[in-house]
Structure 1
């Protein structure tokens, strides 16, 4: 495995070289600065890219995103001590294999790197939870006001006939709204709706 590390810090350079030296799968580690000529690199011979984004390197990050899309087999690991959720979303979208925000000690870092090298993925749990929460919120925002009303009533255990009577609409209209809700939020049963509303403390979905 050939590794390309884009690093500004000499401390990070020493750490990564030290950790990867113990990995039998790694044959070569090339370290370059963020201001290096990235176009001159033969990416066909690169198996992993590690990039430390302590500062803003928009051109570098955009370029790496393009490389990942072109060479999907290249493993991309981002080290972001500033823990930026927007940056995290970008690299999740381009299917980066790792997103690390804290390096407490060498052993932990070595463990994470080894797992990624053998085919696992590693993402910061806090950033991952933020992403899930945002996706959930966006899903709720897709519902119309009427769909939100019906969602709440379904969660209260009312059937379609009872909902139609409460909202003074036809039962067929209720069925259409329920079907739309299930499609938008990915539900398969009314039981899932009830569990979903309990989990989210019956928040207002407007």
Structure 2
């Protein structure tokens, strides 16, 4: 997979490059501060990973233009500052992924594989701040497994304890919680507990 990483931070470029090498047998990985220095290569890339800030929004705009030329091109944005304004712009530009943090390698692999399969991934924590509740599918019913997670959260258990009780990984529990927050338009675990106790979550 041919990948371009854009960041002003040396540490971010090195860390993300390392993750890509460990996750995929990439035939090409390049890291740069400025997309303009490699613009000709955008026509043949598989993925562009952009560490975003106010100054890098133009880089996202340039990258998304090449999606019309290069149909296989995917764009992931990393926003460590969780800037709602930038998130809204990036989503309107139809980026494939918008993430605010990477907690572990499993999460990184999950996000990458999902996006490379043609699906979108937007971090739930930032989406809740930028989109209205009707766009968050708040009327979607919880799955049986999600209801089990809700019941465990209501007991005050942490992710590790819930994962052990349900015989799944902590990463799986994080994904279930993200889905629960999205569907019910909740912000945190305390909201789940309150809704569960007042009977508004079955």
Q: TM-score, normalised by structure 1?
A: 0.55
Deviation at 1:100, TM superposition (A): 0.6
Identify the residue that residue 169 of structure 1 maps to in structure 2: none
Distance, in Å, in 1 between the alignment partners of 2:67 and 2:90 is 10
Identify the residue that residue 37 of structure 1 maps to in structure 2: 37
Work out which of the two has the higher radius of gyration on C-alpha atoms and give 1 or 2. Answer: 1
CA 1:125–1:2 in 2, change beyond 3 Å: closer, same or farther?
A: same
CA RMSD of aligned residues (A): 2.5
Distance, in Å, in 2 between the alignment partners of 1:66 and 1:103 is 27
Distance, in Å, in 1 between the alignment partners of 2:8 and 2:93 is 23
**Number of residue pairs matched?**
135
SS of the equivalent of 2:29 reads strand
Identify the residue that residue 59 of structure 2 maps to in structure 1: 60
Q: Given that residues 68 and 94 in structure 1 are in contact (C-alpha distance below 8 angstroms), is that contact kept between their aligned partners in structure 2?
A: no
Q: Given that residues 15 and 106 in structure 1 are in contact (C-alpha distance below 8 angstroms), is that contact kept between their aligned partners in structure 2?
A: no
Distance, in Å, in 1 between the alignment partners of 2:117 and 2:19 is 15
Identify the residue that residue 19 of structure 1 maps to in structure 2: 19
SS of the equivalent of 1:68 reads coil
Deviation at 1:101, TM superposition (A): 0.6
- CA deviations 1:20-73 (Å, max 9, x no partner) are 11334632111111275243x222211111000145224323212322344343
Distance, in Å, in 2 between the alignment partners of 1:110 and 1:16 is 12
Deviation at 1:127, TM superposition (A): 2.6
Q: TM-score, normalised by structure 2?
A: 0.56
Distance, in Å, in 1 between the alignment partners of 2:3 and 2:63 is 14
Q: Given that residues 64 and 75 in structure 2 are in contact (C-alpha distance below 8 angstroms), is that contact kept between their aligned partners in structure 1?
A: no
CA 1:38–1:26 in 2, change beyond 3 Å: closer, same or farther?
A: closer
